Amino acid sequence: MRQGDHGMAAFILMESSPVMLAPWLSLSARVLANGTSSFEKAHGEDLWSYTAANPDHSQLFNEAMACDARLVVPVMIQGCPGLFDGLSSLVDVGGDNGSTIKLLVKACPWLQGINFDLPHVVSVAAEISGVEHVGGDTFESVPKADAAFILWVLHDWADKECIQILKKCKEAIPEDKGKVIIVDAVIQEQEEMDKLTDARLMLDMVIMAHTTTGKERTLKEWGFVLGEAGFSRYTVKPIRASQSVIEAFP
C-alpha cells in the first residue's frame, strides 16, 4: 500500500467508525444552535473529553492525524521552500503523539522540536530524537520557541478560542524573528473556487458534526482572528492539498 493510500485508509477508518458516524444523525443539534453539539448529543460529552476517556478511539484519532501529517508535511515543504530557514526551534501546538514534529525535524535537522499537547496525550508518546514532549493547556500558555506550528487545530474552535490560542502562540515567539505557521483550509470566495473547494466544504461539514463550535474559515475570517490576536501581518500560500500555509508575524 502506498503512503497516500494508507493515510486515506486511516482517515476513512476513523470517520466511518460508529463513534464518528453517530453525530451525523444528530446534526440538527448544531444547526439549531441550542447549545448542544452533534457529538455531545450523540455521546453525552464533547469529542475531546470522549477521546481522553476512551483509549481505543484516541489511538484511532492519533493514527488518522499522523497519516494526514505524512501526506501534508512533504507537500508543504516542497511548496514552501525556506519556510523554516532562520529558525532554531519549533513548537508543534496540538501535536498529538509527535508524528508531525518528527517529520519536520527530520526534514529540517537544524530545528529543535517541541511536541506540545495535553498531558494525557504526550504521556504515551514515544521518544523522538531531537524532540521534547511537553504537556500543558494551549489556552493557558505555549512553550517558548522561534516559531509555533499549528496543523489542522484551529478549525476545531470558534473565533473566540482561536484568538486565545493565537495570542498564547504570539507570546511564545520572539518579537523580532518569530512567526506562527498555520496549516489549515482557506475557503475561497465564489469567484476563486478551485478543484479542492468541494473537499474544503466537505471538511467544514465534518467539523460541524464533530466539534462544538469549529469551522473552516474564509480568508476574511482568518484575517479577523489573526488581527484580533495582535499579529501585524500575515501571508497565505496555497499548496497541493486542501490546506494552505498561513504565516503570521508579530
Active site residues: 155
Residue whose cell numbers read 451525523: 24
Task: Name every residue whose Cβ is closer than 8 Å to that of residue 150 and which is 6 or more positions away in sequence.
Answer: 92, 93, 94, 165, 169, 180, 181, 182, 183, 184
Amino acid at 117: D
DSSP 82: T
Helix or strand run (H / E) with residue 113: strand 112-117
Query: Helices in the chain by DSSP H: which ranges?
Result: 3-15, 18-21, 27-31, 38-43, 47-53, 55-79, 99-107, 119-122, 159-172, 197-210, 219-228
Which three cell numbers mark 213?
Answer: 463550535
Which three cell numbers mark 137?
Answer: 493547556
N- to C-terminal Cα separation, the chain: 43
Task: Name every residue whose Cβ is closer than 8 Å to that of residue 223 and which is 6 or more positions away in sequence.
Answer: 234
Query: 116 forms bridges with which residues in the sheet?
Result: 93, 134
